[in-house]
Amino acid sequence: MYEKDGERYYIVDGHVHFWDARPENRNKYGEGFIACFYDYHRNLSPEEYVWPKEKYDRYSEEDMIHDLFEIGYVDKAIMQPTYLKDFFPGGFNTTEQDAAMAAHHPGRFICNGAWDPRDGEPGLKTFEALAHEYDLQGVKLYTAEWHGASKGWKLNDYWSYRYLEKCQELGITNIHVHKGPTIWPLNRDSFDVADVDHAATKFPELNFIVEHVGLPRLEDFCWIATQEPNVYGGLAVAMPFIHTRPRYFAQIIGELCYWIGADRILFASDYAIWQPRWLIEKFVDFQIPDDLAGEYAPLTPDVKRQILGLNAARLYGLEVPASVAAEPAGAAVGSEPVSPA
């Protein structure tokens, strides 16, 4: 819970990791991957929050609990696994690793699972077992994941639909989609979210949360979200711009509120890339700058409350304390756009 100026905010951090990127658990691709993550971390964090690389490779359970819950205001954090076994042989951040740590801290975490359509029929059974074992409510999917010779997949592949059907059958309704630099086929734009559009149309009962609001394809993401009511935007990676590039952050959040509405945007730190404490403090203090006020609606406490926790609470059936006012706010104004291209 965060309180400022008499306003209370229930906080759900929609995207956190407990990863293992130590040298003994990575190959050259893993080394490149964590180096890239580290550059994001040190480029976009306030100086006092920058960790040494060794700590960044593998932080402790105590660090995570401290940063999220003791000083970070977070009420509930959603673990989003990222297996990346072609880069990190023991797994970068698996459901099992997350769940083991979450088990030590009851009530703090929601652990999501994952699947990969390239695992075919046997993978469906493995996934079903995973879902039962960890009582999954959501999955995190990474379409850029390497898998032997393959460098990615699409959400509207035949086998993806089979896995989405399985999710529906198991009552796993929150599908977090994360795009990355590769996909199959490689000549297509790997960050394109058109496949999410197809899947969201086909599975209207599932919620599709596009991570980092489609960045670097904010425009494509807004485009599909205006047309699919079950598409949401996760703010991981977008949030930290609030510090280094506040004007750009204002534009992103302004565009999102305009096109898809504040009721479909979910706060996330992407811990340990960034820490929730400073993101939340700065966000609650944040306002659209005066010279952009004509273009973008103001960020009221109600809008911020929705984004910081109420929207995720709705998707995950979390009980919000009665002391947190829950006025709905921020429907989109930019629906039904005309095609630009």
Positions that interact with another protein (CB under 8 A): 29, 32-33, 35-36, 39-40, 42-44, 149-151, 180-182, 184-191, 215-219, 222, 241, 244-245, 248, 251-252, 255, 258-259, 295, 334, 337-338, 340-341
User: Which of 278, 269, 256, 263 is CA-nearest to residue 314?
Assistant: 263
Closer residue to another protein in complex, CB, 108/243: 243
Residues linked to residue 174 through DSSP beta bridges, in sequence order? 138, 207
Residues linked to residue 113 through DSSP beta bridges, in sequence order? 139
Minimum distance from residue 271 beta carbon to another protein (Å): 19
Closer residue to another protein in complex, CB, 19/127: 19
Q: How far apart are CA 91 and CA 85, in angstroms?
A: 5
Cβ neighbours for 241, distance < 8 A, ≥ 6 positions apart: 44, 248, 249, 252
Q: How far apart are CA 307 and CA 8, in angstroms?
A: 13
Minimum distance from residue 71 beta carbon to another protein (Å): 25
Minimum distance from residue 77 beta carbon to another protein (Å): 25
Closer residue to another protein in complex, CB, 137/143: 143
Minimum distance from residue 265 beta carbon to another protein (Å): 15
Closer residue to another protein in complex, CB, 106/340: 340
Q: How many CB atoms lie within 10 A of CB 159?
A: 17
Residue with tokens 């209207």: 204
Minimum distance from residue 322 beta carbon to another protein (Å): 38
Closer residue to another protein in complex, CB, 13/255: 255
Minimum distance from residue 7 beta carbon to another protein (Å): 28
Closer residue to another protein in complex, CB, 156/168: 156
Minimum distance from residue 304 beta carbon to another protein (Å): 21
What is the CB-side half-sphere exposure of residue 249 using CA atoms within 13 A? 21
Q: How far apart are CA 327 and CA 336, in angstroms?
A: 25
Closer residue to another protein in complex, CB, 36/331: 36
Q: How far apart are CA 195 and CA 149, in angstroms?
A: 22
User: Which of 256, 248, 337 is CA-nearest to residue 292?
Assistant: 248
213-225 residues labelled b (16+ CB within 10 A) or e (exposed): bbbebbebbbbbb
**Burial of 163: CB neighbours in 10 Å, binned 0-12, 13-18, 19+:** buried
